A and B are shown apart, each in its own frame.
Chain A
């Protein structure tokens, strides 16, 4: 066992302590992550771009701050991977699309600027479904990411690169974005923790928009406490985002530490009747039910709640999201950045002809499907019937949440209806792909926060299952309290965390070579 593999297996909180005590340095730690990436990423393909030089320079600067007794934050020196949908000055940002191949943004997204200010070296940019459109990362123009638990299976999506990087111990921390479940569902199928904060809780400035009213960036980690630490770094008001909430974040790290004591006396947990049962894989349902019993054992009061409008959430989402996406993706017009394709058959083509040729060559199938669907739903004559109706359904879903939060402090469900499916299985069946998001979408439509915590392995296939906790808007601390409690209770049962190098490495051929 090398010193490097000992470092990469540790949690971010633990690494922060090791940096503070002088047990290791950021350079040593960052090099260990880069070595691990070099070793396994050929098989996993979590990264689209690795910035070894930049990360090591940032690590050296971090070590200098530590040596001078002036660390920039608790996580100063702990490396991180960033989903390729956030603008990074000087580092390529492609959104998984050909249309942005080679684009290097001239500015940082606010989330990225906050990571830099807090001293976290950026290892590189992670793979994703094109413009965050998908649940499997197969819609990346640069090839799929593979689930470290089984390389023939999907790592979830759209943030499959971030979840796989963290699950494969290539990075202790990553940033994801969640429009309909793209942080939480990848967390579920890779056995990692993923948090979608309250809408407006984390700045969207510099986040390339899929659907403005739904997009939210958040932490991707291996422990609940790590997610809370990272959330406190990236969260909070940003004047550059007009939908940013101008209020302090709740005490998230404190809530995670409180939760770890696994005492949930007085906490009311609502099991959502509509998010479970039929359509959910047996082993997923079983692990979920067992986890609920653990919460009861820790003193939680469990009630069943009904949210009847949730059955319409998927339909509303697949109207609102493509409508906003079709409008957002209009900016890729071959004029100011990204790809420009001149049609071969036309002499002296017009701007419009260049646009058509570029958008055909630059967008993949799923982006085209959603642009056309959105254009349809927004066209006059259909607008009220589709987009207008979908917005009304959002109101009904918010009302369901409100009523449910009258009876319970948090709501719980399985995060995704199944475990990771084989790569290729749903690629050309958009509807089957969309069903992956059935339990995660309601939170996006209502703007409420959610977390996925590993709940064990499904007995029938030995693959990870996710447990989702949802809280009212602005009460993100409840996610961390209940999430950390469940994590502590499960790890006590298992005698160890779900993820471990020993469990994974025989599944990644490069490592055993």
Chain B
């Protein structure tokens, strides 16, 4: 069953945009291996012809009536933002220095 290596955890943390310290990697990697081992049995349980269930209550394409309703003002929507400017979310630079 898949051991999850320290490098792999570092890679996953990278994909999930979490900066993990060396100490955190040392701590989390073995725990994740134990958890994965415990769920490994799942591979042998359900045969190919069993349909997957994504939601217990099967509903598709649910829309509410297409009627205008009052919504948040720009000020309300921005009230929790770490930074805002000109009624917009202000974010750090999104391009590299060379771009």
A interface, CB within 8 angstroms of B = 103-107, 198-200, 213, 239-240, 242-243, 245, 309, 312, 314-316, 318-319, 326, 330, 333-340, 342-343, 348-357, 359-360, 363, 365, 368-369, 371-373, 375-376, 379, 385-386, 388-396, 398, 430-431, 434, 445-448, 473
Contact = CB atoms under 8 A, between A and B. Distances in A.
B68 interface: no
B39 A371 contact: no
Contact of A350 (B24, B34, B39, B94): B94
A392 B35 contact: no
A392 to B, nearest CB: 3
A309 B45 CA distance: 9
Given A359-B17, A389-B43, A242 B81 contact: no
Nearest to A93: B80
A198 B57 CA distance: 9
A360 B19 contact: yes
Nearest to A352: B17
B59 A375 contact: no
B91 A243 contact: no
A395 B52 contact: yes
Interface of B: 4, 8-9, 12-13, 15-21, 24, 27-28, 31-32, 34-36, 38-43, 45-46, 50-57, 59, 62-65, 72, 76-77, 79-83, 89, 91-96
Secondary structure at the A interface, as helix, strand, loop or mixed, is helix
B65 A372 contact: no
Given A242-B62, A339-B82, A107 B45 contact: no
Nearest first, the 5 closest Cβ-Cβ pairs linking A and B are A447-B56, A391-B52, A392-B46, A337-B80, A340-B82
- Residue from B4, B38, B39, B79 having most chain A Cβ neighbours under 10 A: B39
A270 B13 CA distance: 45
Contact of B16 (A372, A385, A390, A431): A372
Given A359-B19, A375-B12, A375-B15, 20 more contacts: A213-B54, A240-B64, A243-B57, A312-B41, A315-B38, A330-B16, A335-B81, A356-B18, A356-B19, A360-B18, A371-B18, A372-B9, A379-B12, A385-B43, A386-B39, A389-B42, A390-B42, A392-B46, A430-B35, A447-B55
Contacts of B34: 430-431
Contacts of B27: 365
A55 B17 CA distance: 40
A199 B82 contact: no
A245 B57 contact: yes
B42 A398 contact: no
A242 B79 contact: no
A337 to B, nearest CB: 4
A373 B54 contact: no
B51 A376 contact: no
Contacts of B76: 106-107
A230 B81 CA distance: 34
Contact of B57 (A200, A342, A354): A200
A473 B57 CA distance: 9
Contacts of A333: 17
B38 A318 contact: yes
Contacts of A431: 34-35, 38
A318 B13 contact: no
Nearest to B63: A242
B37 to A, nearest CB: 9
